[in-house]
């Protein structure tokens, strides 16, 4: 196990969010930086709601700060502090990565959806022309929908108990992807190529399932964003129906190569990142 | 060698200065935090002149930021951003450590002089009633003078080519320590108990010596702040005259226990810190 050495040449990636206790990124990036001899470190900075506007600009102006990982509650709010955002971030309405360009401008991107998409593609699911249902139109659901659209799905069904969130997401998707068929307000998974739980359902024991699993076809690929358990109740039900699945931490590990590219740092495969990661519970490291 | 683990429970000490390349603190504190299981990390943040005012307040407001180590060029400028400073920092006119109190106020202290004083005291030099010469009235010279005064020296001789700096330091010393005999403008070391080089002379090959070493008595204790070499030309000349000496890095290692106390973190001895430290050149670790 290579040791993380921090010295005066170390570049900093600030991990901004609140609360910090459940942050996983430092436990994934830093072992990779140590193993690869990359002079960089991910540092958690506790940034409560309302504190981002004062902190982000001076922090990002520090010459040895490469950028920031942005998480709850700032993924949406950070957008208006940036000079530029990627198309995916614009459609998602949120950013989870910020960097400073050589001219000082701040640019943001959103990799949650990218991680999800890379994961299912690497498991053999072809997305071009596919049909998908994303349950949950919050930050992560919007990001997944945006990345699925960018990956070429033909039909996207969106559902959230907060109908306003779904309508707003739908409008941004239609504007960026005029050829995409967007359908809102229905969470029937029957007959679709891909179904995703992007709600927090599954975080707490006894949570309801996000949709009617009895309507799942065996040929449908089922993805999950909840990381609390490797096989959530929803994934277990999908597997019982014969579906292939993607677990929550896959989205996490699959998006890190994209983040590393964004920051201009040496890139590792998701498998290598998992092997090195030092998450709190052993099961979290298991794909 | 214990490994430094950074996670969502890690508290951050920002090391603020510019440039960062020669920063030593991360290479001393972090191995101790790793060895002692202290959930804290010292992180270099490059903060050029003029950038501190915008960065320090929001950074220090982050709940998991314990405080900051302040170095060039901010040791003097940081004072006016603080709510409160110690007497030593007030006399020195500078701070190298800042922390946030539970009520949110920012307090500063200055440990360069404390480190120097602890070092010479632990080498057996009694300071109460002693006479001393400090050559150099910049940040570190002012800090050493302030700490020598606090440690009870009776007579303090100050010299700097910048006479204004010496006069200002002298005025602050006289105000805080009315019984102290302060003498300015003379750098004759003859007959004194302690003589200190607190100038940058010795940083570059071929630098002049800070004072006339032929006037050094064998009984005089000689200290150095330059860390470029363990035995600088000035210390070598003092040793040739029979003087006991203190090397530059002693000030660094001796002050760290004081810093750790200030931040409320587990304390190590200077010897233990040296043993664990991972400075760039092996000689820097040697006392």
Cα distance between residue A24 and residue B5, in whole Å: 12
Give chain A positions within 8 Å (CB) of B41: 6, 41, 43
- The pLDDT, as a whole number, for residue B287 is 45
Q: Which residues pair with A68 in a beta bridge?
A: A14, A98
Give chain B positions within 8 Å (CB) of A54: 57-58, 61
**Residue B53: closest CA among chain A residues belongs to which residue?**
A58
Peptide bond into A19 cis (omega under 30): yes
Give chain A positions within 8 Å (CB) of B65: 45-46
Q: How big is the A-B interface in CB pairs under 8 Å?
A: 122
Cα distance between residue A168 and residue A174, in whole Å: 10
| Contact between A26 and B9 using a beta-carbon 8 Å cutoff | no
β-pair type (B40-46, B11-17): parallel
Cα distance between residue A234 and residue A252, in whole Å: 18
Q: What percent of chain A has a predicted confidence (pLDDT) above 90?
A: 92
B72, part of any domain:
yes
* Tens of pLDDT, residues B203-252: 998 999 999 999 999 999 999 999 989 999 999 999 999 999 999 999 99
Residue A32, classed as helix, strand or coil, is: helix
| Contact between B23 and A42 using a beta-carbon 8 Å cutoff | no
Residues A152 and A59 in one domain: no
Query: Where does A71-111 have alpha helices with state H?
Result: 87-92
Q: What residues in chain A have per-residue pLDDT under 70?
A: 1, 280-287
Among B4, B20, B45, the residue with its CB nearest the CB of A3 is B4
B218, part of any domain:
yes
Supply the DSSP symbol for B254. H
Cα distance between residue A46 and residue A16, in whole Å: 6
* Tens of pLDDT, residues B71-90: 989 999 999 999 999 999 99
- The pLDDT, as a whole number, for residue B1 is 56
* Tens of pLDDT, residues B122-144: 999 999 999 999 999 998 999 99
Residues B221 and B257 in one domain: no
Give chain A positions within 8 Å (CB) of B43: 6, 10, 12, 41, 43
Provide the residue range defining the domain that includes A271. Answer: 11-110+252-285
Residues A117 and A85 in one domain: no
- The pLDDT, as a whole number, for residue A133 is 98
Q: How far is CA B8 from the centre of its chain?
A: 31
The band of B55, judged by pLDDT with boundaries at 50, 70 and 90, is very high
Tell me which residue of A132, A228, A145 sits closest to A188, measured CA to CA: A132
| Contact between B48 and A54 using a beta-carbon 8 Å cutoff | no
The structure's pTM equals 0.91
Q: How far is CA A167 from the centre of its chain?
A: 21
Does A1 contact chain B (CB < 8 Å)?
Answer: yes
Residues B128 and B233 in one domain: yes
Cβ atoms of A8 and A41 closer than 8 Å: no
Q: Which two tokens stand for residue B182?
A: 């302060």
The band of B281, judged by pLDDT with boundaries at 50, 70 and 90, is low
Minimal C-alpha gap between A271 and chain B (Å): 21
| Contact between A6 and B41 using a beta-carbon 8 Å cutoff | yes
Does A3 contact chain B (CB < 8 Å)?
Answer: yes
Residues A81 and A160 in one domain: no
Does B6 contact chain A (CB < 8 Å)?
Answer: yes
Minimal C-alpha gap between A195 and chain B (Å): 31
Supply the DSSP symbol for B3. P
| Contact between B54 and A58 using a beta-carbon 8 Å cutoff | yes
Cα distance between residue A166 and residue A132, in whole Å: 15
Cα distance between residue A225 and residue A221, in whole Å: 14
The mean per-residue pLDDT over the stretch B256-262 comes to 96
Distances (CA, A) of B164 to A27, B137, B170: 51, 9, 10
Residues B103 and B123 in one domain: no
B6, part of any domain:
no
Q: What ipTM, to 2 d.p.?
A: 0.89
Q: How far is CA B263 from the centre of its chain?
A: 16
Give chain A positions within 8 Å (CB) of B21: 8-9
Residues B234 and B126 in one domain: yes
B61: CATH: 3.40.50.10860
**Catalytic residue list contains A99:** no
Tell me which residue of A195, A232, A244 sits closest to A215, measured CA to CA: A195
Pairwise pLDDT comparison (B63 vs B284), residue with the higher score: B63
Among B27, B62, B64, the residue with its CB nearest the CB of A7 is B27
B230: CATH: 3.40.50.720
Does A162 contact chain B (CB < 8 Å)?
Answer: no
- The pLDDT, as a whole number, for residue B44 is 98
Is the pLDDT score of B171 beyond 90? yes
- B24, B64, B280: best mutation site toward chain A, by most A Cβ within 10 Å? B64
- The pLDDT, as a whole number, for residue A3 is 84
| Contact between B20 and A64 using a beta-carbon 8 Å cutoff | yes
Does B209 contact chain A (CB < 8 Å)?
Answer: no
A233, part of any domain:
yes
Tell me which residue of A74, A73, A65, A69 sits closest to A26, measured CA to CA: A69
Looking at the 3D structure of chain B, how many domains does it have?
2
Among B26, B42, B63, the residue with its CB nearest the CB of A48 is B63
Cα distance between residue B266 and residue B32, in whole Å: 9
Residues A261 and A273 in one domain: yes
Q: What part of B 124-153 touches A (C-beta under 8 Å)? A: none
Minimal C-alpha gap between B105 and chain A (Å): 17
A218, part of any domain:
yes
Residues B146 and B77 in one domain: no
Minimal C-alpha gap between B66 and chain A (Å): 11
Q: What part of A 14-73 touches B (C-beta under 8 Å)? A: 18-24, 26-27, 30, 41-48, 51, 54-55, 57-59, 61-65
Q: Which two tokens stand for residue B167?
A: 């006069």
Cβ atoms of A53 and B38 closer than 8 Å: no
DSSP notation for A154-218? SEEEEE-SSHHHHHHHHHHHHHH-TT-EEEES----TT-SEEEE-SSTTSSTTPPPSS-GGG--T
| Contact between A55 and B61 using a beta-carbon 8 Å cutoff | yes
Does B10 contact chain A (CB < 8 Å)?
Answer: yes
Residues A207 and A276 in one domain: no
Cβ atoms of A92 and A113 closer than 8 Å: yes
| Contact between A45 and B3 using a beta-carbon 8 Å cutoff | no
β-pair type (A221-224, A194-197): parallel
Tell me which residue of B263, B285, B259 sits closest to B274, measured CA to CA: B285
Residues A145 and A242 in one domain: yes
B49, part of any domain:
yes
Residues A102 and A140 in one domain: no
A1, part of any domain:
no
The band of B145, judged by pLDDT with boundaries at 50, 70 and 90, is very high
B97, part of any domain:
yes
């Amino acid at each position: 196990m290579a040791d993380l050495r921090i010295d005066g040449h170390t570049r900093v990636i600030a991990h901004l969010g609140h609360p910090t206790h459940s942050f996983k990124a430092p436990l994934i990036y830093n072992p990779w930086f140590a193993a690869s001899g990359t002079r960089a470190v991910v540092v958690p900075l506790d940034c409560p709601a309302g504190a981002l506007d004062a902190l982000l600009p001076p922090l990002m102006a520090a010459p040895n700060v490469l950028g920031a990982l942005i998480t709850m509650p700032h993924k949406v709010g950070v957008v208006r502090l940036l000079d530029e955002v990627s198309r995916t971030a614009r459609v998602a309405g949120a950013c989870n990565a910020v960097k400073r360009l050589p001219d000082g401008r701040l640019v943001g991107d959103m990799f949650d959806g990218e991680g999800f998409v890379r994961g299912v593609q690497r498991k053999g699911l072809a997305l071009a022309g596919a049909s998908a249902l994303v349950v949950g139109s919050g930050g992560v659901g919007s990001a997944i929908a945006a990345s699925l659209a960018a990956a070429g799905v033909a039909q996207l069904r969106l559902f959230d108990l907060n109908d306003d969130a779904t309508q707003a997401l739908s409008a941004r998707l239609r504007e960026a992807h005029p050829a995409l068929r967007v359908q809102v307000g229905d969470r029937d998974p029957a007959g679709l190529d891909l179904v995703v739980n992007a709600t927090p359902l599954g975080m707490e024991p006894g949570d309801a399932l996000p949709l009617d699993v009895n309507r799942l076809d065996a040929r449908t690929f089922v993805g999950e964003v909840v990381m609390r358990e490797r096989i959530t109740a929803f994934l277990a039900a999908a597997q019982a129906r014969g579906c292939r699945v993607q677990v929550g931490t896959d989205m996490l590990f699959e998006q890190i190569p994209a983040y590393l590219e964004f920051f201009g740092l040496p890139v590792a495969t998701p498998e290598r990142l998992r092997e090195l990661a030092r998450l709190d519970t052993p099961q979290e490291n298991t794909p």
